[in-house]
Amino acid sequence: MSERRIAGEPASRGIAIGPLVRLADGSAEIGRRHGDPAAERAALDAAITAARTELAELAAAADELAREILEFQVEMLGDPALVAEAAEAIAGGAPAGAAWAAALAGQIVAFGEAEEEYFRARAGDLADLRDRVLGHLANGAAVVPQTLPAGAILVAHDLGPSRFLGLDWSRLGGLALEAGSRTSHLAMLARARGVPLVTGLGPLAGETGEAVLDAAHGFVILAPEPDTLARYHAQRSAAGADDDPAALARPATTRSGERVLTLLNVDDPAALEPHRLAASDGIGLVRSEFLFLGRERPPEEAVQRRAYEALLEAAAGRPVIVRTLDIGGDKPLPGVTLPQERNPFLGLRGIRLCLERPELFRPQVRALLRAAVRGNLKVMLPMVAHPDEIAEARELFAAELAGLRAAGLAAALPEIGIMVEVPAVAIRPERFAAADFFSIGSNDLIQYTLAAARDAGGRVARLALGLDPAVARLIANMVDFGRETGKEVSVCGDLASEPDAVGALLDLGVRRLSVAPAALGRIKAAIAVHG
């Protein structure tokens, strides 16, 4: 069979080479018989008990966000109403798996049709629960991690967060999903843990054998030719530098000895490994959305302040740059009603939304002002397109600062910089001189410059790959402006985490990179061979 390439959506960078193994979703179990109704019932009870124990263990080891999701599942599993419905079907002659799936199906449909996004999202939890119990009914055959071959590329239609957290990713290669999306909670977990993930691949039924998962570009290569394999093996060993303590610990200097600052992008502080933070020059981008996701309503000021203070403490004097809430109509936020827009990427998002909805923004502003007295905190505004947005945000910070001080609370005004994502900023940076620093968000800058979404797939996504000359010009503009004014200019988008792009960024004069924690070793290695 000749080599075939199936395109999906890159959701968490990395390369895996290994056998494709389909994760049992339990669908094969639905029709299987264990015996008479009594035996079916006993099998179901045993599977539920095993699943509950497993979920409780996962919850105990999880961070706060994951624990809430898991505890809800544990409670669901212990609900006699759910079991009663399945038990009735079993008494009527149904196999345990079919009875359980049918009992859950009604609930999944009911939640899936709910008006509120929050309730709809629970349908995913229930599907996760259904599959976990079906997996146990099947005797855990392919579900138990120990039976998965080392380095395997796991294939599933979609995967719930509890299944993901239950797998031993230190010995598995990566994950290829037929459905799913890069904005899911699962994708966030995968990026934080450095697990290569490609979503939206479409049907992969029956595909087996050795394969390559190229999660940097978003495809799977089936039946790879020997030279394809050799190429990816070489790439992967270069990436191995990420886990090599010596490679991580070395200061980032070019071959000619020029120092390059390497900072980290943080999606979820719970998943930030201390040895990577220790090997970095600080935190160049905190995506503060982690505080808002997986909750029923926006977090209050105190919750946010504690999270920022914890990051400052972990950074031990090095800078921590927090990006203020960056959401829009395409990224729904529980408890917040956003307008449905025909084109959310050109709509009310980022700083525009925060200025429009100060009740959402003010608690974050106060939390940042108060945390600022505890370390080297900087604040970064996303999606700035007009200088007035910086002025308005500064007014809000000043007003809240005055309020806090009047109340006798310790607070300080941090440096306020902006993301460079909208070409308007990079074309005329001097208009945005009210910003204290600049950080180039390459993902959006590329998308807005080339009018191409990276997750569009195919021809469109290819436009958004790599460093287009027009984007390079915009970055050079920013670097020149930084040199003239003495203001910091960094790159914090995915481009900075791609070894292939780092040389080009250094050539353009970039000397500050903020990268995915899992890419730190490989980026330092790429810097070391430059110049």
Which active-site residues does the annotation give? 185, 492
Tell me how far apart the alpha carbons of residues 270 and 243 are, in angstroms, rounded to a whole number: 19
Tell me how far apart the alpha carbons of residues 388 and 381 are, in angstroms, rounded to a whole number: 12
Closest CA to 217 of 4, 469, 494, 446: 494
Tell me how far apart the alpha carbons of residues 104 and 40 are, in angstroms, rounded to a whole number: 17
Place of tokens 């808002």: 292
The answer to whether the beta carbons of residues 255 and 528 sit under 8 Å apart is yes
Tell me how far apart the alpha carbons of residues 212 and 224 are, in angstroms, rounded to a whole number: 7
- Nearest 5°: phi and psi at 111? -70, -40
Tell me how far apart the alpha carbons of residues 142 and 145 are, in angstroms, rounded to a whole number: 7
For residue 187, count CB atoms less than 10 angstroms from its CB and return exposed for 0-12, middle for 13-18, buried for 19 or more: buried
The answer to whether the beta carbons of residues 452 and 478 sit under 8 Å apart is no
User: Sheet holding 4-7: strands in order across?
Assistant: 4-7, 219-222, 210-214, 15-22, 153-156, 174-177, 197-199, 9-12
353 SS3 class:
helix
Residues that bind other proteins (CB under 8 A): 68, 71-72, 75-76, 78-82, 107, 110-111, 114, 116, 118-119, 122, 296-297, 300, 302-303, 335
Alpha-carbon torsion (516, 521, 526, 531), positive or negative: positive
Closest CA to 329 of 365, 310, 353: 353
Q: How distant, in Å, are the alpha carbons of 44, 78, 104, 302, 479 from that of 49? A: 9, 9, 16, 38, 59
Helix axes 80-91, 96-112, angle to 10 degrees: 130
| Upper half-sphere CA count for residue 297 (Cβ side, 13 Å) | 5
SS3 per-residue string spanning 302-334: HHHHHHHHHHHHHHCCCCEEEECCCCCCCCCEC
**Residue 226: in which H helix or E strand, if any?**
helix 226-239
**Residue 440: in which H helix or E strand, if any?**
strand 438-440
Output the six-digit token pair for 179: 């459905």
